[in-house]
Amino acid sequence: MSVVTKEIENRKSKIENPLRIVDCGLAGYRDILDLQLRLHEQRRQGQIPDTILIVEHEPVITLGARQSANILLVDGGCLADRGIQLVSTRRGGGATAHNPGQMVFYPVLDLRQLRLGISEYVRKLEAIGAELLAQLGVDAHRRKGLPGLWVDGRKIASIGVRVSKFTTYHGMAINIQNDLGIFDLFVPCGLQSVEMTSALKETGKSYNMNSVKEQLAPLLTKHFSSEA
């Protein structure tokens, strides 16, 4: 299946290596993973500029590279009956989930050009997520040793990244107004008794996802353009 994409205008277009931000709409996880892999190779060879995909996913549970953190509470047949795909990946971390109403972004960046180490890169992802959630009325924060964002002990955003030859892929998922019931089917990130939350659950407000994308795009440019 092909992915329908739309480039979001980059208002800092005069920079030497402009950041491309691409809206992929609602798409299947495997389709976007294939697209990331193609972009990763193109970025590594210098054929394209730094690129970030923004997407909402059809329901899927993904397994990370840390096998001990991939803990399913139902079998594959149960997931299939519910229309939920199960996909193994090579990103860091353990099992997580994506579904409509969750904002996901996948940076394909050359960390050398941005002069970022991996830890600094993860901190930037967390800063972007926290700034976006603040605009939506949610005060989210980091927890030492646990990548992602939290609201009073409840997890609202997850990070799982991979860096190969200094170039990133995979990324960050932020729960805006998605069905949190999907997280009851596994142990999120291998963390026992973790409670998941969303902007909707915290504020009682519903959100226009296109407007959320428009709020996210300038934050990505702020943190990841070569002028940042």
Token pair recorded at residue 188: 């999120």
CB–CB of 32/55 below 8 Å?
yes
CB–CB of 64/187 below 8 Å?
no
CB–CB of 56/169 below 8 Å?
no
Q: Is 78 a catalytic residue?
A: no
Which alpha helices (DSSP H) does 45-160 contain, by range? Answer: 76-81, 111-114, 118-135
Annotated catalytic residue within 189, 196, 212, 217: 189
Token pair recorded at residue 32: 């976007």
Token pair recorded at residue 91: 């990103």
Residue type, 169: Y
| Cα–Cα dist 28/108, whole Å | 18
Task: Kindly provide the b/e burial profile for residues 69-98, where b requires at least 16 CB atoms within 10 angstroms of the residue's own CB.
Answer: bbbeeeeeeebeeeebbbeebebbbbbbbb
| Cα–Cα dist 67/63, whole Å | 8
Stated as kind and residue range, the H or E segment containing 182 is none
- DSSP, res 194: P
Residues assigned a catalytic role: 189
